[in-house]
């Protein structure tokens, strides 16, 4: 089995576990947990993956970080009762 296949299967399993635990309760928590999964997978697989795959994973991470910043900003505004 190719390493990229193992990587996708691992992240699919992680997503399934997070989905089973979080359910439909909190989209924010779900997105953050997925981001954590990608970060862990990226770090652990850095030695084994090709630069092209590493670049694609970095794109996922960048999108996840933007989503994370949006979530944090929303929370801050919510606490400050601006929105």
Q: How far is the CB of 8 from other proteins (least distance, A)?
A: 5
Nearer to other proteins, 24 or 79 (CB): 24
Cα–Cα distances in Å, from 10 out to 4, 56, 70, 73?
Answer: 10, 16, 27, 30
Nearer to other proteins, 5 or 79 (CB): 5
**Which residues in this chain contact other proteins in the complex, by CB under 8 A?**
2-5, 7-8, 11-12, 15-16, 18-19, 22-24, 27, 30-31, 34, 46-53, 56-57, 60
């Amino acid at each position: 089995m190719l390493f990229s296949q193992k990587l996708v299967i691992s992240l699919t399993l992680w997503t399934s576990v997070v989905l089973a635990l979080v359910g439909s309760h909190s989209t924010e928590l779900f997105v953050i947990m997925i981001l954590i999964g990608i970060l862990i997978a990226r770090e652990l697989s850095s030695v084994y993956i090709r630069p092209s795959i590493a670049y694609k994973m970095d794109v996922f991470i960048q999108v996840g970080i933007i989503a994370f910043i949006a979530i944090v900003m929303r929370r801050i505004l919510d606490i400050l009762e601006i929105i």
